């Protein structure tokens, strides 16, 4: 065959093959090659709804699917229970952590009060020398926590740069 005829012949054969009824599906349905396939039920009714054997088959398939889902549902229920137990444990752990934080804050507050009491009992020169050795933030915190009378006694003995910075921060509202 020449090259020019090859493509049209192939197209004609493909069209004939595509338009012809599938013989294998007719044989599988038990129909002769020239017979038509039976039409389904009316629209809206499931295929085989009138056939008791088909209904029984559908029931068996449904029960098999339900049986296959039962272990999955049981596993999901077990996981749900496990997750709820974990959630309760996490809530309890959160409460314990919150209580521990509260106790830590109380302890730190008590320690801070004791430390401030020590600074109040020291002579102004000694307390100022100790405060000058602290970092800026801690020194400002100590000065903020001390009462006005004690701070008034300390200011002449503190480094003037630190006192000026602390004063500016207090006036700025920081």
pLDDT over threshold 80, residue 140: yes
Please say whether the beta carbons of 157 and 125 come within 8 A.
yes
What pLDDT, in 10s, does the model give residues 20-73? 666 555 555 555 555 555 554 555 555 555 788 889 999 999 999 999 888 999
**Boundaries of every domain in the chain:** 49-107, 122-174
Task: Enter the DSSP assignment of 155.
Answer: G
At residue 131's C-alpha, the angle toward residues 129 and 135, to 5°, is 125
129-134 long-range CB contacts below 8 Å, 24 or more apart? 129/157, 131/158, 131/162, 132/158, 132/159, 132/162
Judged against a pLDDT cut of 90, whether residue 123 lies above it is answered with yes
| Per-residue pLDDT tens over the stretch 85-96 | 999 999 999 999
In the prediction, which pLDDT does 157 show?
93
Cα separation, 86 vs 73, whole angstroms? 20
**In whole numbers, what is the pLDDT of the chain averaged over residues?**
82
CA dist., res. 154 & res. 127, Å (int): 7
How high is the pLDDT of residue 62? 92
């Amino acid at each position: 065959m020449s090259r020019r005829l090859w493509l049209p012949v192939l197209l004609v054969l493909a069209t004939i093959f595509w338009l012809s009824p599938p013989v294998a599906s007719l044989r599988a349905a038990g129909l002769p090659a020239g017979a038509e396939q039976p039409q389904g039920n009316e629209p809206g009714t499931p295929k085989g709804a009138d056939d008791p054997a088909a209904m029984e088959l559908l029931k068996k398939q449904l029960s098999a699917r339900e049986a296959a889902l039962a272990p999955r549902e049981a596993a999901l229920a077990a996981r749900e229970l496990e997750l709820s137990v974990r959630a309760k444990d996490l809530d309890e752990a959160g409460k314990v952590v919150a209580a521990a934080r509260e106790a830590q804050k109380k302890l730190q507050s008590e320690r801070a009060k004791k430390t401030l009491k020590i600074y109040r009992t020291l002579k102004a020169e000694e307390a100022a020398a100790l405060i000058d050795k602290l970092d800026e933030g801690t020194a400002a915190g100590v000065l903020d926590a001390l009462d006005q009378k004690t701070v008034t006694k300390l200011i002449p003995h503190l480094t003037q740069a630190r006192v000026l910075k602390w004063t500016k921060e207090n006036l700025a509202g920081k």
